[in-house]
Amino acid sequence: MAGRKLGLSKLGRTAKKLKKLDNTYISSSYTRGYDFFMDHGDGAWVWDVDGNKFLDFTSGIGVSATGYNNKRVVSAIRRQAGRFLHMSGSDFYYSEEIELARKLASLAPGGRPKRVFFCNTGAEAVEAAIKLSRYATGRQNFIAFLGAFHGRTMGALSLTSSKAVQRAGFGPLMPGVVHVPYGDCAHCAYGCDYGTCDIRCVSYIEDVVFKKNVAPREVAAIFVEPILGEGGYIVPPPEFHVRLRELATRHGILLVADEVQSGMGRTGRMFAIEHFDVVPDIITVAKGVASGMPLGAIVAPRDIMTWPPGSHGSTFGGNPVSCAAALATIDLLERRLVKNSERMGKYIMKRLARIQDGSRSIGRLTGKGLMIGMEIVKSRKTMAPDPGLRDKIVNRAFWHGLLILPCGSTSVRFVPPLIIGREEADTALEIFEECVQLAEKGC
């Protein structure tokens, strides 16, 4: 790493001024783990307001899939902005929205003809999926998973069960949601061993929930993240989603795959659910779909999305500039970035495994593609979580020029832009390894 000039030794003058203003005017609900003040970016690199350079392995929480300042995406945005910025798709027609809907419908797994509803965010997409599930089934209840994050608006928050602070003080939430443990074989909530458990994380729903909590005939949908996101980047066992699909089909329940974080090429497939050869009834989309422009959507078969005009809508959903950005983004994903995500994900996982071998505090390594999580523990023998050490590593990485984020109670997540190459990956992992070693020594 000789000659590397990344990060900073102290907070710059402009950043200090902005921090004071932020503390005065910005909501106290925001979570900032360290003091990075964005000025501009290029590819996977970002610069703060004082000119300090960083390698970004957060991509704006999985949003900037094509990197910063991608020429093709920026050009598409400029062309559309020069024509018109807005015309509400809830009341009028424009080709950008129609073309994007056709594209998303063709990309979603399953052969049934599909329709698309557009909104602005992942939480809005989840809210739309909640409403559509109730409308299509005539049922009112839902099943979701402990550790899941589906958003912070009231319906989405009712499904969310990631951190207590996200729900505290906002009750009563939407009634009718039952939470069950996710398929986490390393930390099985039922004390089972994979291979002899009969996928208890799914059979429990049939054996217990449907007998003691809620009748299956009253459940509208099961909401599930194909790979648990904020809850720890947990990849469930291969049978988990297959068994969920069978359960849902058997009882006429809709299966909703929340692909807000795991979708759009992030895992080396266009949608993470494709890794499990399962076709959900509804897919939620946001984050990486438009390279940073606000856009969300749900995709569902036409025989499910039959709600009448006026039953749901969005003034800004399917904004023409966002649609143009999404069409350019998807073209890049299909041409090379989904494959690059798969290839670079395998490379980074191998490098992280080597770092893990030389560390006492790196526990489980999980993920697919460029959605990678690593647990930080007190000891490889006990595997007891060490969130304090995790936070020290994340913070130290910032000062050394690498932006990473926590997830779950004790994990670090690696979610770089899908354009990432080997040289950038090597730089990031060298910094990360150095920060782990320093943190382990108490430095």
Question: Domains of the chain: which residue ranges?
Answer: 13-69+337-440, 87-318
Chain centroid to CA 83: 32
* Span 87-318 CATH architecture: 3-Layer(aba) Sandwich (3.40)
pTM: 0.96
The CATH-assigned architecture of domain 13-69+337-440 is Alpha-Beta Complex (3.90)
**Model confidence over 256-287: pLDDT tens digits?**
999 999 999 999 999 999 999 999 999 999 99
pLDDT in tens, 390-425: 999 999 999 999 999 999 999 999 999 999 999 999
Q: How many CB atoms lie within 10 A of CB 362?
A: 22
pLDDT tier for residue 4 given thresholds of 50, 70 and 90: low
Give the mean pLDDT of the chain.
96
Q: What is the pLDDT of residues 78-115, one digit of tens each?
A: 999 999 999 999 999 999 999 999 999 999 999 999 99
